[in-house]
Structure 1
């Protein structure tokens, strides 16, 4: 009987471990892509080296590419923007000097749109152009220019973004989702709790993030967006949707929420005054049950 109980306990322990939910934050500042130029296999590695002016969605990138057959790295420099435009240039023996000149001339969102025109005046030996990449389309397609020759180029990915604030949620049944892909690009999530119910599973997140991911414009680089998110899943941990509840917001002009904790610290209440977009209301955060209720 003791052996049976031991086996049962061990199996239960393993099952419990498998049901654990974890959140891990990993910031990507470089990406490696495989692909092909006119059917010839290549590899491209790009590194984020800074933002253009105050625009977080427009990045300077440096890196290299090589043909798989030779593995000789050919340097690249260029610009990536949020809309999927990626321009990469090789200037030969003057790569370092001309890369610096290119970046010095691209200092605004408007200049990003003129990247190729500016680069051509610096006489690149070869270059890649990917325009208006559809992030749901795989593979990513573009063109490779070598002298007067133009070749089709493909990257084996559906997303060419270089800089990413990944918030990976590791779920039971060996499943994983990244909030970067379906909530927003700003990250800032913290795992609070998770629970199961008749309609499936829930995960409760607290978040603090920039109001405007760009440092310019309204609420630029402000840390004023704070609140909770409840993520809903099926019983098999397939993602369904999420709800967001703000307790502070520069964009929505929500400030000075009154916070009240229960004695057992399992419930938190926020009294939130009237804002530009919402009437006065109360948020009740139930940590044990991974839920948030909004009431008048």
Structure 2
């Protein structure tokens, strides 16, 4: 019995510490939200339907919502505008007026007039959500039906529909999404991972666009490039991360040289002077998932 217990324990121990760390990139163009209208539970699904002009923070959405009790889908169309959601149901003219609304919104200036343009098409009902950063896990808004106005809520902290998710699978059946705590641009690649006295480390290389707004500063650039180290506790709870840029339009980092060691276990980068920092050097230790910065 004792030997059997030891064997089982060894299998459990080996299983816990041999779990692979993997990173999977998934681009979402549809989201399902739970919420309430006048305190009544609803479910809403919204789909990305194309950029209005040149910013991935401003785009068209189509979808539906229903009251959970009845589950009869009510069609919606509208826009996502830097966290604001304007959603309309045009009744029997839904398809025709949805197209008319989209044809009129051709610039950021027209995007600001979405509700004015939609009202001219006589919506049967509409829902407006605006991000309130004082509230956690809730996005508040209003539901309009005729002259009646009722409070509306989405039970989420983020109502962005189009998302670049990078899911990192960790030991102990844990999973995190870099979209939630690094940035929304994705572009991460798993390089290595290691453990030390103070916990665990994961080394990522990344390349992503500088700005989701192609009309804004650095919007047409090749993007941001560099490394990130994610720090975890010994039982794989996320603590924080560090970022080391090798190229950046936003930080004006272009003059970077790269030197690989003969065994290819380390890479040294010499970063030139930028608008935010003097020149410096950092060395990437791939095997140990660590980075050391020096002058």
With structure 1 as the length reference, what TM-score do the two structures score? 0.91
C-alpha RMSD of matched pairs (Å):
2.2
Partner SS state of residue 18, structure 2:
helix
What residue is the counterpart of 2:242 in the other structure?
A: 243
Mapped to 2, the partners of 1:8 and 1:265 lie a distance apart of: 38
Mapped to 2, the partners of 1:272 and 1:145 lie a distance apart of: 55
In the TM superposition, residue 257 of structure 1 has moved relative to its aligned partner by 2.3
Question: Structure 1 residues 131 and 46 mapped into 2: Cα distance closer, same or farther (>3 Å)?
Answer: same
Mapped to 1, the partners of 2:16 and 2:131 lie a distance apart of: 46
Deviations 1:49-103 (A, max 9, x none): 1122111111210011122333222211001122x21110011111111111111
* Correspondences of 1:193-212 after superposition (within 5 Å): 193-212=192-211
The answer to whether the Cα contact below 8 Å between 2:54 and 2:215 also exists between their aligned partners in 1 is yes
* Correspondences of 1:13-92 after superposition (within 5 Å): 13-18=14-19, 20-82=20-82, 84-92=83-91
What residue is the counterpart of 1:261 in the other structure?
A: 260
In the TM superposition, residue 209 of structure 1 has moved relative to its aligned partner by 0.5
Deviations 1:255-276 (A, max 9, x none): 2422222222211111222333
Deviations 1:144-171 (A, max 9, x none): 1111111222223232111111112222
The answer to whether the Cα contact below 8 Å between 1:213 and 1:221 also exists between their aligned partners in 2 is no
Mapped to 2, the partners of 1:235 and 1:12 lie a distance apart of: 15
* Correspondences of 1:2-21 after superposition (within 5 Å): 7=8, 10-18=11-19, 20-21=20-21
In the TM superposition, residue 136 of structure 1 has moved relative to its aligned partner by 5.3
In the TM superposition, residue 289 of structure 1 has moved relative to its aligned partner by 1.1
What residue is the counterpart of 1:126 in the other structure?
A: 125
Unaligned runs of 5+ in 2: none
What residue is the counterpart of 2:142 in the other structure?
A: 143
What residue is the counterpart of 2:280 in the other structure?
A: 281
Mapped to 2, the partners of 1:15 and 1:157 lie a distance apart of: 33
In the TM superposition, residue 175 of structure 1 has moved relative to its aligned partner by 2.4
Deviations 1:95-140 (A, max 9, x none): 1111111112222222222211111111101000112343852333
The answer to whether the Cα contact below 8 Å between 2:166 and 2:177 also exists between their aligned partners in 1 is yes
What residue is the counterpart of 2:212 in the other structure?
A: 213
Question: Structure 1 residues 262 and 6 mapped into 2: Cα distance closer, same or farther (>3 Å)?
Answer: farther
Question: Structure 1 residues 234 and 222 mapped into 2: Cα distance closer, same or farther (>3 Å)?
Answer: same
Partner SS state of residue 118, structure 2:
helix
Partner SS state of residue 72, structure 1:
coil
Query: Would you say how many aligned residue pairs link Structure 1 and Structure 2?
Result: 294
Unaligned runs of 5+ in 1: none
